[in-house]
Amino acid sequence: TRMVAILALERLTGETLGYDHAAVEAQREDAVARWVEWYAHLADLERDDG
């Protein structure tokens, strides 16, 4: 499921933000944190436009 999730995100955004589904947990957690930050930034932009 991790692989499917990152493939979907990459198709939608063109980005992986360094996420590798086969990486060790600590590396995946770092990349997940980057995705959370990316999403928060996107939500802020949409709130500012709305």
Q: Can you read off the two tokens belonging to residue 34?
A: 């980057």
Residue 18 gets the label, from left (phi > 0), alpha (psi -120 to 50) or beta, of: left
Q: Specify the pTM.
A: 0.87
The letter for the amino acid at 1 is T
Phi, psi of 19 (to 5 degrees): -75, 130
The mean pLDDT values, 10 residues at a time, for the chain of 50 residues are 97 98 98 98 88
The structure tokens listed for 25 are: 């947990």
Residue positions counted in the chain:
50
Give the amino acid at 24: V
For residue 45, what pLDDT is reported?
A: 92
